[in-house]
């Protein structure tokens, strides 16, 4: 990421600095998005930008640009960094002010964005990954894509410390989502996922795969399911911007199904890839 977008200027990373009293740094007072880039194009970019504005509105943060202006600048950023396959990370904070919990009377939001080369996780998608179950101890506004991610980080770290890819979270036995993904099960040829309430982030990949399900004849049930349902499911997978549709083949040491990506999961991977190609063009494998 030789060039970053700082407010409305393109600068080198060395020129981009954050004040010690930036409210994002001190309070996590801000929102963010991660957008996938394939073949130099944003996948579901408009949906991500719309969600950024929705998250900002929920925390009463006025963004200093329009959606159209932001999309234009993000494409310039991709071009300046010659990014083919990867991600854009973008965030906006409430800006710098003397440290106090209430909002400053006058504040100027601070926006930053940068790119990163990230290959598609093809080997993991083909083989499947392991997960653990963890208690969901996060706050009750998980629908806001805010900078407050400590609960997510602790769950993810616990998964990694046990040699797993993801932690699937639950509140008193009801599965919500993953530490950095949405969670899904397949049972009796039906897909189940927690409804889009304040308890989960309504993922853009989640929305896209739900849109694709009717085309392959898979019925969708946006209904809460339990830990027992999770452990007895025919198939389990998670979905996120960077992980795409990732099969879970083992949970807490117990095999899911036959310990391999399931038939419906593979079908969803196929139509999801087709959706990417429809928006962004032919996918070319890029080595790290």
Concatenating the DSSP letter of every residue in 134-195 gives: EE--S-S-TTS-BS--HHHHHHHHHHHHTT-SEEEEEETTEEEEESSSEEEEEETTEEE---
**Which of the residues are catalytic?**
145
Residue 285 has pLDDT above 90, yes or no: no
Give me the mean pLDDT over the 138-145 stretch. Answer: 98
Give pLDDT tens digits for 5-48. 999 999 999 999 989 999 999 999 999 999 999 999 999 999 99
Structure tokens at 71: 């999309």
Long-range pairs of 105-108 with CB within 8 A, sequence gap ≥ 24: 107/23, 108/64
pLDDT of residue 157: 98
Residue 288 has pLDDT above 90, yes or no: no
pLDDT of residue 66: 96
Residue 287 has pLDDT above 60, yes or no: no
Residue 57 has pLDDT above 90, yes or no: yes
pTM of the entire structure? 0.95
Give pLDDT tens digits for 219-278. 999 999 999 999 999 999 999 999 999 999 999 999 999 999 999 999 999 999 999 999
pLDDT of residue 165: 98
Give me the mean pLDDT over the 107-118 stretch. Answer: 95
Q: What is the Cα–Cα distance from 169 to 182, expressed in whole angstroms?
A: 10
Between CA 51 and CA 57, with CA 54 as vertex, the angle to 5 degrees is 155
Give pLDDT tens digits for 257-270. 999 999 999 999 99
pLDDT of residue 106: 84
pLDDT of residue 286: 54
pLDDT of residue 224: 97
Give pLDDT tens digits for 155-207. 999 999 999 999 999 999 999 999 999 999 999 999 999 999 999 999 999 99
């Amino acid at each position: 990421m030789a060039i970053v977008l700082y407010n409305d200027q393109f600068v080198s990373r060395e020129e981009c600095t954050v004040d010690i009293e930036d409210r994002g740094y001190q309070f996590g007072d801000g929102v963010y998005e991660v957008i996938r880039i394939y073949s130099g194009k944003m996948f579901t970019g408009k949906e991500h930008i719309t969600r950024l504005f929705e998250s900002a509105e929920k925390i009463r943060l006025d963004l200093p640009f329009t959606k159209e202006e932001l999309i234009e600048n993000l494409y310039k950023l991709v071009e300046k960094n010659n990014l083919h396959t990867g991600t854009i990370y973008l965030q906006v904070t409430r800006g710098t002010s003397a440290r106090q919990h209430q909002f400053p009377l006058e504040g100027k939001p601070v926006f930053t964005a940068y790119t990163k080369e990230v290959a598609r996780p093809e080997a993991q998608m083909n083989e499947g990954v392991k997960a653990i179950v963890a208690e969901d101890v996060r706050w009750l506004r998980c629908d806001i894509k805010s900078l407050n991610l400590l609960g997510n980080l602790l769950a993810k770290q616990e998964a990694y410390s046990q040699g797993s890819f993801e932690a699937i979270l639950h509140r008193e036995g009801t599965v919500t989502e993953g530490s950095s993904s949405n969670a899904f099960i397949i049972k009796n040829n039906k897909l189940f996922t927690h409804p889009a309430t304040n308890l989960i982030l309504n993922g853009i990949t989640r929305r896209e795969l739900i849109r694709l399900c009717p085309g392959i004849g898979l019925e969708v049930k946006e209904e809460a399911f339990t830990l027992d349902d999770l452990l007895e499911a025919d198939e389990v997978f998670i979905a996120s911007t960077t992980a795409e549709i990732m099969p879970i083949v083992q949970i807490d040491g117990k095999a899911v199904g036959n310990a391999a990506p399931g038939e419906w999961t593979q079908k969803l991977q196929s139509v999801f890839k087709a959706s990417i190609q429809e928006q962004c063009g032919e996918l070319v494998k890029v080595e790290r």
